[in-house]
Amino acid sequence: MTVTERFLKYVQIDTQSDPETGTHPSTKKQFDLAKILVDELHSLGLRNAYCDEHCYVYAHLPATKPNLPALGFIAHMDTEPVCSGKDVHPSVVKYTGGDVVLKNGKTISEQEFPILKEYVGQDLIVTDGTTLLGADDKAGVAEIMTAVEYLVAHPEIKHGKIGIAFTPDEEIGEGASLFDVKDFGCDYAYTVDGEELGELGYETFNAAEAVITLTGKNIHPGAAKGKMINCALIAGEFLAALPKDEIPAKTEGKQGFYHVGEVHAEVESGKISLIIRDHDMERFQARKAFVDGVCQTLQSTYGADSVRWTIRDQYYNCYEKIKEHFHLIKNARKAYEAAGVPVKEAPVRGGTDGCTLSFMGLPCPNLFTGGLNAHSVREFIPIPSMKKATQVILNLIKLYAES
C-alpha cells in the first residue's frame, strides 16, 4: 500500500479527541483507527503489535544487526477537537497555481498562503471545505507505516531494533501521559508530527494551562449598590489586564504569548480558560506569575469565593533534553540531505508528544509530515512531501545502522 493510499484510508476514520471527558483515551472512537493499525502491523509480520487499554499502539521490528541503538518513530492518531474530523472527504487536485477552490466553494488563497507557490505542479490532497483533513497527524501515521512495510519487504537493509508507537489525545496535551517508555524499549525516538517539507523541530514552547472560575452575586439592578458581584465584568477586567500585543496573532518565532481559548460569563458565574506559552523557562515562569498576580488582585477586590484559579504545567521545551543527544539532530540533517530535502530549523510554536517523552527519558525531536494549515478546513498536504517524509525515516534507520 502506498503512503497516499494509507493516508486517504486513515483520514476517513473519525478520531477527534475531547478535552472535557476526563477519560483515557478521551474518546472511544480513537480505538477504531488503533485496531486497524494493529491489524495492518500483524499483516506485515509484526506479531508483537498491540493496543493497550488506553489506546496506545506499540510494535517492534527486531534488529537485523546487533549492538545498534534502538530507534523509535511515533505519531498520534487523534485530530483536533474544535474543527470537525467526522465524515472527511479528501480529494486529490493537481495544483497549477493560483487559488485552490474546494468543493463547497471555500478557497485556499495563494495570497493568504503564499507557500502554495512552492508546490506548483504537484498533487495536493485537500478537504471538501467542511472538515479538517487530518494530516496532523495521520500523515505521520501513514509515513511510519509505509516505512515499516518497506523494511519488511527489504530484509537486506540492516538496522537495530525499531520501535513503532501511535498515541491518542496528543491534541489535548495528553498524548504521552500514559506512554510506556520502559516497555517501548528505545534509546532514542523521533515524532513524525511536523508540518511543511523540511521542517525539523527540537525546540518547543514551555506550556501551561490556566482556568479561572468566577462566582458572583445577583440582585435586582435597582438595589444592587454594594451587593452585586458581576462575573461578566470581572472577566472583562481579567482580559483587559492581559498584554494586548502578547497574543498568538501578534507574535512569532520565540516570542511567547497568552491565548484565551474560552470565556463564558454572566452575573452569577463565569469561566476563563487560557494557555501560557514561552520558549524561555524564566519568561515562562514570569508569565505564570503574572496571571497568578492578576487573579490575586481580582480576588482581593471581589472576595475569596468570587475568583478561584488553577495553573497547570502541560509540557516543557524538549531542547533541554535533546541537546544532550545532539546526534539526533545531526543525523536528521543528513537524512534530509540524502532525500533531497532542504532543512528548515525553527523553534516550534507548539508542542508534540516528544516534549513529554524527552522529559520521560526518551529524547525525541520532531520530523516533518508535509501537512499545511493544520486544524483548518483549508488543511492540505502535497503527496510528494509524504513520500519524502517516508524516505527520511528510512534514511535515519540506515544512518543509525552505520553508526
Place of cell 487536485: 93
Domain end among 315, 341, 370: 315
Tell whether 229 and 87 lie within a shared domain. no
Q: How many CB atoms within 10 Å of residue 116?
A: 22
Task: Encode 186-201: b = buried (16+ Cβ within 10 Å), e = exposed.
Answer: bbbbbbbbbbbbbbbb
Q: Are residues 230 and 157 in the same domain?
A: no
CA separation (Å) from 258 to 233, 277, 310? 20, 7, 15
282, 299, 315 - which closes a domain: 315
Q: Which runs of E-coded beta strand occur in 296-385?
A: 307-315, 344-345, 366-367, 380-382
Residues 352, 276, single domain; the answer is: no
**DSSP labels, 189-234:** EEEE---STTEEE----EEEEEEEEEE-B---GGG-TTT-B-HHHH
Q: Which of 16, 54, 59, 14 minimizes the C-alpha distance to 40?
A: 59
- On whether both 170 and 104 belong to a single domain, the answer is yes
Pairing of strands 71-76, 188-192: parallel
Walk across the sheet containing 50-51 and list its strands.
50-51, 57-61, 162-167, 71-76, 188-192, 366-367, 199-201, 344-345
What is the model's pLDDT at position 347? 87
In this structure, the answer to whether residues 167 and 199 fall within a common structural domain is yes
Residue bearing cell 458572583? 216
Last residue of a domain, one of 293, 315, 337: 315
What pLDDT does residue 157 have?
95
Mean pLDDT by 10 residues, the chain (403 residues): 97 96 96 98 97 98 95 97 95 96 95 95 97 97 98 96 97 92 96 95 94 96 94 98 97 95 96 96 98 98 97 93 96 98 91 89 96 96 98 98 86
Q: For the chain, how many structural domains are there in total? A: 2
**Cα separation, 400 vs 403, whole angstroms:** 5
Q: What cell does 252 get?
A: 512569532
Domain residues for 243? 206-315
User: Is 32 one of the annotated active-site residues of the chain?
Assistant: no
3-state SS class at 123:
strand
Tell me the DSSP string of 221-289: GGG-TTT-B-HHHHHHHHHHHS-TT-SGGG--TT--EEEEEEEEE-SSEEEEEEEEEESSHHHHHHHHH
Number of H helices, E strands in the chain: 10, 17
Q: Cβ of 59: how many Cβ atoms within 10 Å?
A: 24
C-alpha cell at position 228? 452585586
Determine the Cα–Cα distance for residues 103 and 105; give it in Å rounded to an integer.
Answer: 5
- Read off the C-alpha cell for 356: 513529554
What is the C-alpha separation between 72 and 190, in angstroms, rounded?
A: 6
Can you give the CATH number for the domain in which 347 is found?
Answer: 3.40.630.10
**For position 352, what pLDDT does the model report?**
78
3-class DSSP assignment, residue 334: helix
11 and 90 together in one domain: yes
Query: What number of residues does the chain have?
Result: 403
Identify the active-site residue in 40, 78, 143, 171. Answer: 78
155 and 250, same domain (yes or no): no
- CATH of residue 266's domain is 3.30.70.360
Q: Are residues 137 and 235 in the same domain?
A: no
What is the C-alpha to C-alpha distance for residues 256 and 385, in angstroms, rounded to an integer? 30
Nearest to 281 by CA among 346, 207, 348: 207
Same domain for 74 and 174? yes
Catalytic (active site) residue 78: yes
List the catalytic residue out of 40, 170, 193, 203. 170
For residues 142 and 7, the answer to whether their CB atoms sit within 8 Å is yes
Residues 239 and 148 placed together within one structural domain of the fold:
no
C-alpha 64 chain-centroid distance: 32
Residue pair 270/235 in contact (Cβ under 8 Å)? The answer is: yes
Beta bridge partners of 73: 164, 190
Question: CB within 8 A of 361, min separation 6: which ones?
Answer: 181
What's the sign of the alpha-carbon dihedral 109, 110, 113, 119? Answer: positive
276 and 128 in a common domain: no
State the pLDDT at residue 44.
97
Q: What is 11-62 written as a DSSP string?
A: TTS--B--TTS--SSS-TTHHHHHHHHHHHHHHTT-TT-EE-TTS-EEEEEP
